[in-house]
Each structure stands twice: as structure tokens, then as C-alpha cells.
Amino acid sequence: MSDQREEIFQHTISVIVDNEAGVLARVIGLFSGRGYNIDSLTVAAVADNDSTSRITIVTSGTKMVIEQIKAQLERLVPVHVVGDLTLEGPAVERELALIKVSGVGEARVESLRLADAFRARVVDSTSTSFIFELTGKSTKISAFIDLMQELGLVEVARTGVVALSRGKTGLEQ
């Protein structure tokens, strides 16, 4: 039960699944069917032989809902293991974004200067536009996008968060 007065927490959850048809639909269907939030979701095959994929989900809810989400994920047949990177200690979280900015003169120079300060790379340029590639925490990417708003922001593509726990062990050990 989600009690509206209870505090909402954001968690990053890592799920190792069999890399088979429909597995993403199962995970997404679980979230939509039970009314859970998806703040971001990424998925790609991670095993050498492509047999398993890692899904990284950023979600938010009350403590009880977060606990439910993990238990419900564990119940899915193709799910091998579910980890809560927010609870299980420090983790590295990264997101990649491509940001297209168009402008001339002062704005163009300023965007390039800020990109430098954020360590964004220019991956495409025309005489009136840039595409910046930026990697980092989601908050950093959002801050950069905010700054670009006034400098001719055209469009943005973000990958969503990928994350791993710090230290020497992995989710499946």
C-alpha cells in the first residue's frame, strides 16, 4: 500500500535477466501493471555469450513499495538476481547524453566554454551547431542541459542511468 504521507525515496535497481525475447516487456509490464514509477531504464546484453542482460532501473516509491518492487522483480522467471545499489552501499552511477546546440556569435562561444568546463566533448559540429557528448551523474547532465537552454538548445538524447556497485564483488557473486 502506498501511503501518501510516507516519504518517497529514489532507488537504483540492477537486474540480471536471461537475454530472451519478451523479458523487457515482462519488467516494464510489471511496473505499469502495478503502478510503480520508472524514472529511467536501461538494458543491454552483458555476458560474453549474450546469454544475460543487465537492466538498470531508477525508480521511486515509499520504503514498502521499493521492497515490493524488488520482490516482484525476483518473482519473474527469467530474472537471475536483483540488487538494490542504493541500499547495498556505494555505487557508481553514470549516464551519457548527446546535446545539440545551435547558435552563432557570443552564444556559440559561451556554449563551447561551458562544455569545456563540464568536460563535454564535441562529437559533431557545423558552422552554426554542435553536438556535445557528456557523461556523468544525471544531475550533472541536467545542470548542463539547463545551461544550454538559453544558448540555443535544439534537442537532447539521454541513455538513462547505468550503475555498478563499488568494490571487488559483483551482483552475481
Partner 1 sequence: MSSEQMSGAEIVIKALQDLGVDVVFGYPGGAVLPIYDALFQQNRIRHILVRHEQAALHAAEGYARSTGKPGVALVTSGPGATNAVTGLTDALMDSIPVVCLTGQVATHLIGNDAFQEADTVGITRPCTKHNYLVKSTDDLGRVLHEAFYIATNGRPGPVVVDLPKDIQVARGVYRNPGKVRHRSYQPQVKGDLALIKKAAEMLAEAKRPIIYSGGGVINAGPAASQLLRELVRLTGYPVTSTLMGLGAVPAHDPHFLGMLGMHGTYEANNAMHDCDVMLCVGARFDDRVTGRLDAFSPGSKKIHIDIDRSSINKNVRVDLGIVGDAAHVLEDLIKVWKAKAYRPDEKALERWWKQIDEWRARDCLKYKPDDKVIMPQYALQRLYALTKDRRPYISTEVGQHQMWAAQFYGFDQPNHWLTSGGLGTMGYGLPAAIGAQIAHPDDLVIDIAGEASILMNIQEMSTAVQHHLPVKVFILNNQYMGMVRQWQDLSYGSRYAESYTAALPDFVALAEAFGGAGLRATRPDEVDDVIKEMMAIDKPVIVDCQVAKLENCFPMVPSGAAHNEMLLGPEDMGEETSEAGKALV
Could you list the residues that contact partner 1 (CB under 8 A)?
Answer: 1, 17-18, 21-22, 25-26, 29, 33, 64, 67-68, 71-72, 74-75, 77-80
| Nearest-approach distance from CB 53 to partner 1, in angstroms | 12
Residue 29 or residue 167: which is nearer to partner 1 going by CB? 29
Residue 132 CA to residue 99 CA, distance in Å, equals: 5
| Nearest-approach distance from CB 72 to partner 1, in angstroms | 5
| Nearest-approach distance from CB 114 to partner 1, in angstroms | 45
Residue 6 CA to residue 165 CA, distance in Å, equals: 27
Residue 7 or residue 106: which is nearer to partner 1 going by CB? 7
